[in-house]
Amino acid sequence: MEYGYDDIVASTSRLRELYGEPTHRGRNKVIDHIDDVCRRFIEACPFIVLATAGADGRMDISTEGDAHGFVIILDRKTLVIPDRPGNNRLDSFENLIANPG
């Protein structure tokens, strides 16, 4: 199959033209707090993926795991993720200091 310039998606308007608008459920899936569904999911998970960004904006992703319940929900906006012994790279900590957003 050959592809041409018309097959390249280079704008959000072209993307929406191809895919349409998000569904009601899709638009409402982003929330600014930990609701009951999120709480149950977090409490049951034995594994998380932590994404941070450095001062230069480059992303870094670390995996963390333990028995379910190792992540503590402090309140509706705060998770406590335990620090585990590792390779001492400290990428996530350094990124959070440089780019707390």
| Cα distance between residue 79 and residue 48, in whole Å | 12
pLDDT of residue 1: 61
| Cα distance between residue 99 and residue 54, in whole Å | 6
pLDDT of residue 94: 96
Task: Please state the domain extents for the chain.
Answer: 31-98
Task: Show pLDDT as tens, one digit a residue, over the chain (101 residues).
Answer: 676 666 789 999 999 999 999 999 999 889 999 999 999 999 999 999 999 999 999 999 999 999 999 999 999 999 999 988 888 999 999 999 999 98
Instruction: Please list the alpha-helical segments (H only) found in the chain.
Output: 12-19, 24-27, 36-44, 91-98
Q: Round the CA-based radius of gyration of the chain to a whole number and report it.
A: 19
Is the pTM for the entire model greater than 0.85? no
